[in-house]
Amino acid sequence: MPGTAVIGLQWGDEAKGKIVDLLTSQHDIVVRYQGGANAGHTVVVGDEVYKLSLLPSGVLTAGVTCVIAGGVVFNPAKAIEELDELESRNVEDCDNLKLSDRIHVIFPWHFAEDRALDSNTSDGENIGTTGRGIGPCYRDKVGRSHAVRLGDMYRSTFREQIEHITAAKNRVLASMFPDGDLQPLDAEEIFEQYSAFAERLKPYVADTTDYLLTAAESGKRILFEGAQGALLDVDHGTYPFVTSSNSSGVGISNGSGLPARYVNKVIGIVKAYSTRVGGGPFPTELDNEIGQRIRDQGNEYGTVTKRPRRCGWLDAVAVRYTTRLSGVDSICVMLLDVLSGLDELLICTAYELDGQQSTVFPSHVDDVRRVKPVFETLPGWQEDITKVRKLADLPANARAYLDRVSQLVGVPVEMVSVGPARDQTIPVSPG
């Protein structure tokens, strides 16, 4: 039974959506299992551009069931907005969507808490969250007493649950916004609004854990769609400058409810360079005109928040770490075309810390901040490669760059992407 996972190996925005989209038709089921509407993905089908932040991009493929599993935090208004948009554009497969009744639901208090708490890391640097209530919702999930799962919204106790939580949240929010910047939340209004959401979403709600276990046991082909990147993993990333879920390969089982043995292949997605949005250390960051050139060429502005992304050289120390952490079998190198026209390309092959060189990615954020990248310089290429469809037709220097990345990271390259369209993809045969 082929179970395949697609995992971002940097700080998100690696263009996972395109690879998921290409692989979707070879699978029966696509599963999103962590994160929420903080993940933006753009899928280009012919002349149509779809921007989704919560629904799996598999909703664009007929005959495939899309599952949002229990590990996701869920903004029902966003899901309905995306469903309405797809229906208005005649994407008919929304019928094949299943929403776990175990999903934790994002409420207005989560957005307010996200705003209030983002600036409170102990060293004063903001995490720079997407403001989508992700962290506060996960915090309530683990805290248990003020959490609502999608299945709760169909119970007779829902009104009482909302009244209880709203009262408690209003007390907390009053202390977070002492200047009265926030009006107290109205339990009745929230109950009415979320009851309407529940009604609209009812046809899609299911026990997806049981559904997925049964599907896996009967040999269905499942594609696991990771959100964000492994360096944002709450346990193994650049903590605290991370998201609140396990965005590396380690999150697949707990988020989906499927044992790890159902994942037979892990594909890591790597940009040909690095980007990061929000705060936190970024050893290979280019705060200069090359960084700006990459930002412009790669259109490196957030899908969700429109923030300009920080850009830098490829960091093979970081990617080797996340490749090992996620059990990656092969990588797809994305946006290679963005590097065309640069005379030289740098790859970080080691870090220097306190006079010592190492290829280990440090566990403490202060050390990630302090490392000096050790760079290797490779010659660039000038040709436009956006129309190349065969590996042999890439300029020799582009092939040499890919070979070196593969060697440093320790796994083969499986695909290379040279543009956003489905066909701007170069398959790479193993060996």
Q: Which residue has its beta carbon closest to ligand IMP?
A: 278
Element of type H or E holding 108: helix 108-117
Name which of 221 and 295 has its Cβ closer to ligand IMP: 295
> CB neighbours of 65 closer than 8 A, spacing ≥ 6?
28, 29, 30, 96, 97, 98
* Least separation in angstroms between CB 120 and ligand IMP: 13
Which residue out of 21, 27, 28, 41 is catalytically annotated?
41
- How many Cα atoms within 13 Å fall on the side-chain side of residue 7? 30
- In terms of residues, how long is the chain? 431
Of 15 and 215, the one with the shorter C-beta distance to ligand IMP is 15
Considering the candidates 13, 114, 233, 337, report the single residue annotated as catalytic: 13
Residue 78 Cβ vs ligand IMP, minimum distance, rounded to whole Å:
13
Token digits for 77?
Answer: 């208004």
- Going from the C-alpha of 424 to that of each of 20, 259, 321, 350, 415, the distances in angstroms are 14, 34, 28, 32, 10
In terms of CB distance, is 76 or 278 closer to ligand IMP?
278
Give whichever of 12 and 151 is closer to ligand IMP, judged by the CB atom: 12
CB of 232 to ligand IMP, least distance (A): 5
As measured in angstroms, the least distance from the Cβ of 228 to ligand IMP is 5
**13 given a catalytic annotation:** yes
Compute the distance between CA of residue 260 and CA of residue 249 in angstroms, rounded to an integer. Answer: 10
State the nearest-atom distance from the C-beta of 278 to ligand IMP, in Å: 2
Pair 55, 80: CB distance under 8 Å: no
Helix ranges, 302-390 (H): 316-325, 365-370
Return d(Cα 231, Cα 241) in angstroms, integer.
9
Q: How far is the CB of 118 from ligand IMP (least distance, A)?
A: 8
41 tagged catalytic = yes
H-assigned helices in 202-288: 208-217, 251-256
Beta-strand ranges (E) seen in 190-233 are 205-206, 222-229
Residue 295 is inside which H or E element, if any?
helix 289-297
What residues make contact with ligand IMP under the rule CB under 6 A? 11-13, 38-40, 127-130, 132, 134-135, 228, 232, 241, 243-244, 277-278
Q: How far is the CB of 254 from ligand IMP (least distance, A)?
A: 17
Q: Please, where are the H alpha helices in 131-186?
A: 134-143, 158-176
Based on CB atoms, which residue is closest to ligand IMP, 221 or 310? 310
The residue among 138 and 204 lying less far from ligand IMP, judged by its C-beta, is 138
CB nearer to ligand IMP: pick between 115 and 159: 115
Q: Which amino acid is at 410?
A: G
Residue among 266, 267, 257 nearest 217 (CA): 257
**Which tokens belong to 141?**
């999930």
Among all residues, which ones are annotated catalytic? Answer: 13, 41
